[in-house]
Structure 1
Amino acid sequence: MKYYRMDALWQVTGKRMHLGENVKEIEIMENDFNSKLENLYKVFKPYYISGNLRERSCECCVTNEEIKLLLSKQLKDLSEDDIGHFMRSAITTFGEISDYKHFLPRILELLSFQNSTIIDDFLTFEKLNYGEWETWNEDEIVVVKEYLESLWYIVINNEKSTYYQIENVLEIIAKYIGMKKALKIWEGSTADKSVEYIVDFVLNGLSMDVGKKNKQYFLKWLHSKKVLSMMENVYFKDIDFDFSKRLSITYTILERDYEE
């Protein structure tokens, strides 16, 4: 997956992300994202690696070299390769819940980095449920939810986001935040590409693994007046002929099954 952490974006690309045309709105989104990221680190700061991590890790599954690598850098400097094994094996064979909470802010931050493959790693994201995150302290639950919501907002407003990115981030949001909340954020997108994703979903089919209930909710939303209005707004803009044709076909399909 290709993401850019907001404060690292200019260093990587030398330019702003394509997040619509309103510069002020882009600035607000960037500031919100960075604020949510900072809150993650702040709330989970009390958790640190105490004692001997070797004693809390499986002798057969985790090597001394992997532990040394994991502890060799500051939390914010850990790369996906440095922390990869821990992300997939945390709590079960690599450390305990307090260790997982220590590294969690960095794991979630890596979602926003270019070329990240974490986003579609099933084991990584099942760790939240395995760790019974909904039973954690209220402030911990809140910052995780707020960060994921902000990440989704950035992705759905990014003109450079791909179908693959939208699909995977939406799966995570639906799982941990709820499909209803995810679609509400989608409705607020100002990027033309957010409508193009809808066109792709309708014409190419829904391949997301979001569960039967969420899938039914999503399909119902596709046929709503709100979605039709979003498509109308884009159609009357200066868009290329091919997209306008695909958009028109999609609109006709959805309008036919429109639900009040």
Structure 2
Amino acid sequence: METKLKNIITKVYKVFNYTRPQNINNVCTACCLDINDARLLLTTELKLIPVELICDYNDGAQAYNYDMVEFKYFLPRYLELISEYEFTSAVDVSLSLKNLNFNNRTYWSTNEEVQCINEFFLAFFEKCLETDVYNNEAQLIEIINMFYLASIDVQPYLEIWLQDLSNFSIIHLEQLITNNFNYRGKIRTNSFIDSDLNSIIENWIIANKKTITTAIENQIMATNLKEEQLQRLSYLYDTMNYL
């Protein structure tokens, strides 16, 4: 999966080979983005721009008339950093790709670009399911929210998750349910998670309760997890009765 994702990032750099902007127009350079940092964004080789500068560019006050050509120039670096779990918002992980606006066909009318973005999101999500190394930075619900705020349809990714509830993927599900659902079986509100996404996740969990419960049973019986993970799965099994 790691090799697949790196190949996609290489492709992203080729597909989004936009001309370097002459000026930064998308972010306020009067107070949000220091003029020297703006200069660094424009003069540093794209692949070498540090995550801190991309975060400043991403999190600063945004222009009303957003220049997607400017954004697309920086997009390969965004995706490369995210693929390495260096998220491009210092405010919240879920805001890392808030300017992608993937449902806006005015911005996304080129088939090759659309395909490239879809390939990245799929490969990155599959990588997340196979590991927990990003847990120091984010939980999977925050990454799903990042997809959602980028105007990516999250439903297909939830179904991919459901198809392979083993090892780390079941642990991620345990974290999602244990940390985000209350004893009444309702997902807790979060200032960064849209209520519509909350509903999507809640309905998905309830609709697939039997499948999830069976997967938990199988993982507990397999006993190839750490003791702490087995305890958490046992607690999750009990929790599912309340959902």
Matches within 5 A, 1:53-132: 53=23, 60-61=30-31, 62-89=33-60, 92=63, 96-113=67-84, 116=87, 118=89, 120-121=92-93, 124-129=96-101, 132=104
The answer as to 2:195 corresponding to 1:211 is: yes
Q: Which has the higher helix share?
A: 1
**How many pairs are equivalent?**
226
Deviations 1:227-259 (A, max 9, x none): 2332232112223444334323422443676xx
Distance of 2:30 and 2:172 partners within structure 1: 45
* Structure 2 counterpart of 1:228, from 199, 213, 223: 213
* Structure 2 counterpart of 1:155, from 128, 137, 147: 128
Distance of 1:199 and 1:32 partners within structure 2: 27
Q: Unpaired runs of 5+ in structure 2? A: 182-187
- SS of 1:49's equivalent in the other structure is coil
Residue 122 of structure 1, CA deviation: 5.5
Q: Which structure would you say has the larger RCO, counting Cα contacts within 8 Å and 6 or more residues apart?
A: 1
Matches within 5 A, 1:186-197: 186-189=161-164, 191-197=166-172
- SS of 1:128's equivalent in the other structure is coil
Which stretch of structure 1 is more off in the superposition, 128-137 or 30-39? 128-137
* TM-score, structure 1 normalization: 0.71
Contact 1:159–1:193 (Cα < 8 Å) also in 2: yes
Name the structure 1 match of 2:177.
202
Distance of 1:247 and 1:189 partners within structure 2: 16
Give 2:206's aligned amino acid.
K
* Structure 1 counterpart of 2:112, from 139, 151, 161: 139
Name the structure 1 match of 2:13.
41
Name the structure 1 match of 2:158.
183
Distance of 2:75 and 2:16 partners within structure 1: 8
Give identity over the alignment, percent: 20
